[in-house]
Homo-oligomer: A and B are copies of this chain.
């Protein structure tokens, strides 16, 4: 699946990923009204509004981008109807030939991590049959529990040719509280990065590994150090746009081959119509606003990479 991600990035000239994190507050009133008219103000109603919102955005941008990243928390909060729409979104994005990165940030130990890996990337065995519960192509994984928590994902990645992105340095302001602690002369995130490089070596695709890393756009200098520490890992870069990261900050996350990073934007794309720059589209044309925002993001990152050559 890392091969497919790279091929799609090369084809679209767009190392970007759209985060499908549909908070109800982002969804235009007319979609919510229609969903609530049909299902009432229920979890099913909320889930239906999320589904219609996602579908319109995916329809508007799928030809421009290689990948989407649904954030499962935004679905999980609506219980079973929400998680049903998570799965429906995964399937719909697959129909549109998009790579799906499940932003699930799971992480546990032993058989528990194996259950998460089976549920999100692999298959679960029931008697003689096998089922893929959520069927994403990649999943984000939390490294706090060490190799015990990651290894079961590696096993599934090898079997299914799928991948993970391990949290290394996250984009949020307080990420430094633990991740930046200096241990034996190096920040913790570098120790995590070193382990990622080790896990990555054990799980190689052609030129890149099935094991990638999450490094926030908001910390470009750290991104530079981590880029060289994890040469075979794709970096999933959150924090572009609404969180403050800009195209020029991102050049450090790429390798000299022009590959090696995929930049995510969520709110900046899916709620573009709420920003001054795209408000002319209005709520009725929210998906067109998202398409315009994707085009601008691709141009911003492409321009920065061009200038850095």
- Enumerate chain A interface residues (CB-CB to B < 8 A): 21, 23-24, 32, 36, 41-43, 45-46, 71, 73-74, 76-80, 82-84, 87, 105-113, 115-116, 118-119, 124-129, 131, 133-134, 142-149, 167, 170-179, 181-184, 188, 191-192, 195
Listed residue (A32, A108, A126) with the most chain B CB atoms within 10 angstroms of its CB: A126
Contact yes or no, A84 B80, CB < 8 A: yes
Q: Which of A42, A133, A195 has the most CB of B within 10 A?
A: A133
Provide a sorted-by-A list of 28 A–B residue pairs whose CB atoms are within 8 angstroms. A21-B111, A23-B111, A24-B125, A41-B127, A41-B129, A42-B126, A43-B124, A43-B131, A45-B126, A46-B124, A73-B108, A73-B112, A76-B119, A76-B133, A76-B134, A77-B118, A79-B87, A79-B131, A83-B83, A105-B107, A105-B108, A144-B179, A145-B174, A146-B175, A148-B173, A148-B175, A149-B174, A178-B192
Closest 5 CB pairs of A and B: A41-B127, A79-B133, A146-B174, A146-B177, A77-B119
Closest chain-B Cβ to A202's Cβ sits at a distance in Å of 15
Task: Please name all residues of chain B whose beta carbon is closer than 8 Å to the beta carbon of A71 when the two chains form the complex.
Answer: 108, 112
CA distance A148 to B175 in the complex (A): 8
Question: Residue of B at shortest CB range from A41?
Answer: B127
Q: Which of B112, B172, B176 contacts A74 (CB 8 A)?
A: B112
- CB-CB < 8 A to A115: which residues of B? 23, 73-74, 76-77
Contact of A119 among B45, B79, B174, B182 (CB under 8 A): B79
Give complex CA distance A115, B83 in Å: 13
Highest count of chain B CB atoms <10 Å: which of A45, A87, A115, A173:
A115
CB distance B167 to A145 under 8 Å? Answer: yes
CB distance from A23 to the nearest CB of B (A): 6
Q: How many whole Å from A85's CB to the nearest CB in chain B?
A: 11
Give me 9 other A-B pairs in contact (C-beta within 8 A), A45-B126, A181-B184 excluded.
Answer: A24-B125, A43-B126, A105-B106, A105-B108, A143-B144, A144-B179, A145-B170, A146-B175, A178-B191
